[in-house]
Amino acid sequence: MNTWQTLLVVLGAIVVAALMIRFVLPRLDARGVDVPAVVESAKSVVATANNIVNVLRPFLAEVTGIDVVDKILATAHVGVGNAEQLYLVGQLEPGERKNAARQYIRDTLTLIGVEITPEVERVIDGAIEAEVLSMGHKKITMK
């Protein structure tokens, strides 16, 4: 499997996860399914998959797409957290958070020499969606 095939497989998995976040989980919640428990189970599966990839990484050394995806996922964690913090202190409007996180990831990838292709853009969007899901929904009350 070449680099682009691997990247497309990872991209497909991220797109499926984003679609589930957007469409399946809200419907399950409406039907009375314990969505937080499902999300916790999903986190466990993702952690296990991450451990497996880390074990296999030495055997996949020539596959640079995995390194790019790793960098996107790590940067998404920081970018989404940064955008959320800027929103909480009033420097971003709610609708600006995703674009702020996306721009942070793009800037970081450009800084380390990763070309921003349409495939990379889709991975970025999926990583942002996954990171937002992992943060959970927080209700903030002002006193």
Question: How high is the pLDDT of residue 7?
Answer: 65
User: CB within 8 A of 15, min separation 6: which ones?
Assistant: 122, 126
Cβ(133)–Cβ(21) below 8 Å: yes
Burial of 41 (0-12, 13-18, 19+ CB in 10 A): exposed
pLDDT by residue (tens digit) across 97-109? Answer: 999 999 999 999 9
Cβ(75)–Cβ(105) below 8 Å: yes
> Which tokens belong to 75?
């940067």
The mean of the pLDDT values for the chain is 78
Residue 143 has pLDDT above 50, yes or no: no
Encode the chain in three state secondary structure. Answer: CCHHHHHHHHHHHHHHHHHHHHHHHHHHHHCCCCHHHHHHHHHHHHHHHHHHHHHHHHHHCCCHHHHHHHHHHHHHHHHHHHHHHHHHCCCCCHHHHHHHHHHHHHHHHHHCCCCCCHHHHHHHHHHHHHHHHHHCCCCCCCC
pLDDT by residue (tens digit) across 10-31? Answer: 777 777 777 777 777 778 778 8
